[in-house]
Amino acid sequence: MDLWQTILLGIVEGITEFLPISSTGHLILTSRLLNIPQSDFLSSFQIAIQLGAILAVVLLYARSLILEWEILKRVMAAFIPTAVIGLTFYKVIKQYLMGSELVVAWALLIGGIILIIFEFFYKEKETSLGEISALSYKQAILIGVFQSFAMVPGVSRSAATIIGGLSLGLKRKTIVEFSFLLAVPTMVAATGLDIIKSAAEFSVDQIGLLAVGFVAAFLVAVVSIKFLLYFIKNHNFVVFGIYRIVIALLFLILWMR
């Protein structure tokens, strides 16, 4: 992996982390298109640079993460299912799923169809929750269960939590912001676990590549977060469902050739 490939992957991560299109899936497919050989370092890189995008949330939502105790408690409650399931299946996911473009493509395709069908039937009610602090702990934990499906590359953590939150009666803006906040402990834990298990194997050059990807992801993610908050004021997520299907079909056609 060279410097320009690292920067490109960082940009891809920053754009896709908070959109319901799967950042991990896009990193895997982009790596394939760039002919970057699959390796333990690449798998770790694809996990670790997501922390750069998460830093954008910390920057933009520092008050909610530090001072809003009622919000923070609900974020941590939602994190519990992912933590438990993630620790249980960490080895399986990294060894068998992280490098599978076919898994990603099918997850993108099926997820896109689900997203479109969901939006076709979903209607926001006036009684929908508009404040994260009004979430019950049961609702928060259930959103965390939805998020755990995103451990399969291509599912999309953002899409899973958003569909879960809308299904449980949250307003669109509320669940999008909750998804931002929930990404912080989720990705800190995922990255921390991977670094603990793999950091000793990284060379100095590889650590430098991680740093470059981290910074690129952070800078682009700041813009991506602001775009999504603006977008949802007047739009649903059907366009992202269509995008997922198109990308998946294109890749499946190319992969099957």
Mind listing the pLDDT tens digit for each residue in 1-54?
A: 788 999 999 999 999 999 999 988 898 889 888 888 877 777 778 878 888 898
- Asked if pLDDT for residue 119 goes beyond 70, the answer is yes
The CA distance from 115 to 162, in Å, is 10
Burial 230-240 (b: 16+ CB within 10 A, else e): eebeeebbeeb
Structure tokens at 109: 């395709």
Q: 170 pairs with which residues across the strands?
A: 129
What's the pLDDT band for 247 if we cut at 50, 70, 90? very high
218: exposed, middle or buried (C-beta count within 10 Å: 0-12, 13-18, 19+)? buried
In degrees rounded to 5, what are phi and psi of residue 168?
-90, 5
Q: Hey, which of 14-23, 48-57, 125-134, 148-157 has the most confident mean pLDDT?
A: 14-23
What's phi and psi for 170, nearest 5 deg?
A: -95, 150
Domain regions of the chain by residue span: 3-256
58-67, 149-158, 241-250: segment of lowest average pLDDT: 58-67
